[in-house]
Amino acid sequence: MLHLLTAVGILVCAIQAIRSRRLIVSALWLAGTSALVALELYLLGAPEIGVIELSVGAGLVTVLFVFAINLTGEEATDLRGLIKEPLAVVVSVLTIVLLGLLLVPGIDRAAPSVGEPALKVVLWGNRQLDLILQAVLVFCGVLGVLGLLSERESAPTEHNPLEGVE
Amino acid sequence: MTLSVPNIVILIVIGLLGTGIYALLTVRNLIKVVVALQIMVKAAMLALVLAGRLQGQENLGQSLALTVIVADTIVAVVGLALAVQVRRVVGSLDLNALTTLRR
């Protein structure tokens, strides 16, 4: 029952994050989605990942969103894409149906649990290349934050057509 | 189809992916595009944890989900930094306004 309520909550929050016109409200709905996904992860037996998702997804990313929205300012978000709305709905529904047909039939054929090393062994021992790549990614993130915080020096000056006439 | 836990989670995954694809197709605001990407990545993360659980390799699925969380955060940071710089240079967050960058 709790799984079902969480599922409904996640989907409602995600849809509201897309539907809301104000960017800041959208970011808050996204934080709600993250928090509920963290709860679902906890219920699925992955409390470590749930905690990380809660602190990073619902905390850090939301702060970044609010910061970026403050820098850029609220802008009318009811601009419509180049693709017509009915076509977008058809493509989305088609995706959902095809994924459903692909995933749902095999979902109950769970494999028997095999003896598996602990999470710390899998993470730190078996996946060292991934860890190096994650470190590179974090470095990219630092560069991204520098881009977020950089001053307005990069903005081009207004071109004045009368400049140099006299 | 009974509403077992895996079925509920797979419904969440499919719903989140569908919502994200719809948003990517219809939204033109750069920050909203990052929001849509975040929603889709959350679906992938849930799917990884579920797949690990179903295959009896829970810890492998969880460690992959951890990698996805890191990648997801970096994508958000770089995407938002890009949006801020586009707003400064172009003056708008509209994706169509980026055509002014064309030579």
Per-residue confidence (pLDDT) for residue A25, from 0 to 100? 92
Residue whose token pair is 């995706």: A95
Chain B contact set for A123 (CB, 8 A): 59, 63, 66
Instruction: Please give the tally of structural domains in chain B.
Output: 1
Please give the average per-residue pLDDT across A114-132, as a whole number: 77
Percent of chain A with pLDDT over 70: 80
CA separation for the pair B49, B68 (Å, rounded):
11
Give the pLDDT confidence of B33-66 residue by residue, as tens digits.
Answer: 999 999 999 999 999 999 888 888 888 888 889 8
**Alpha carbon separation from B76 to A9, A62, A64, B31 (Å, rounded):** 23, 10, 8, 9
Q: How many CB pairs under 8 A join A and B?
A: 256
Query: Residue A144's closest chain B neighbor by CA?
Result: B78
Instruction: Give the CATH number for residue B53.
Output: 1.10.287.3510
Give the pLDDT confidence of A10-64 residue by residue, as tens digits.
Answer: 999 999 999 888 889 999 999 999 999 999 999 988 888 999 999 998 899 999 8
Residue B84: helix, strand or coil by DSSP?
Answer: helix
Q: Which range, A156-160, B1-5, B37-41, has the best average confidence (pLDDT)?
A: B37-41
* Confidence class for position A118, pLDDT limits 50, 70, 90: confident
Domain at A1-77, CATH from 1.20.120.1200, 1.20.120.400, 3.40.50.970, 3.30.1180.20 = 1.20.120.1200
Would you call B25 and A108 a contact, using CB atoms and an 8 Å cutoff? no
CA dihedral A65, A70, A72, A78 (to 10 degrees): 70
> What is the ipTM, given to two decimal places?
0.90
Nearest partner of B64 among B47, B77, B79, B40, judged by Cα: B47
Q: For residues A158 and B99, which has the higher predicted lDDT (pLDDT)?
A: B99
Nearest by CB: B66 against A11, A52, A60? A52
Per-residue confidence (pLDDT) for residue A166, from 0 to 100? 44
Would you call B73 and A56 a contact, using CB atoms and an 8 Å cutoff? yes
Nearest by CB: B22 against A34, A92, A100? A92
Would you call A37 and B57 a contact, using CB atoms and an 8 Å cutoff? no
Is residue A108 scored above 90 in pLDDT? no
Is residue A165 scored above 50 in pLDDT? no
Chain A contact set for B5 (CB, 8 A): 3, 43-44
Is residue A164 scored above 50 in pLDDT? no
Chosen from A64, A79, A130 to mutate, greatest number of chain B CBs within 10 A? A79
Query: Residue A97's closest chain B neighbor by CA?
Result: B14
Per-residue confidence (pLDDT) for residue A62, from 0 to 100? 92
Would you call A81 and B28 a contact, using CB atoms and an 8 Å cutoff? yes
What is the phi-psi region of residue B91: left when phi exceeds 0, alpha when psi lies from -120 to 50, beta otherwise? left
Chain B contact set for A86 (CB, 8 A): none
Nearest by CB: B31 against A23, A37, A156? A23
To 10 degrees, what angle do helices A61-72 and A23-43 make?
170
The per-residue pLDDT of chain A, averaged, comes to 81
Residues β-bridged to residue A57:
none
Domain residue spans in chain A? 1-77
Closest chain A C-alpha to B41 CA, distance in angstroms: 11
* Confidence class for position A110, pLDDT limits 50, 70, 90: low
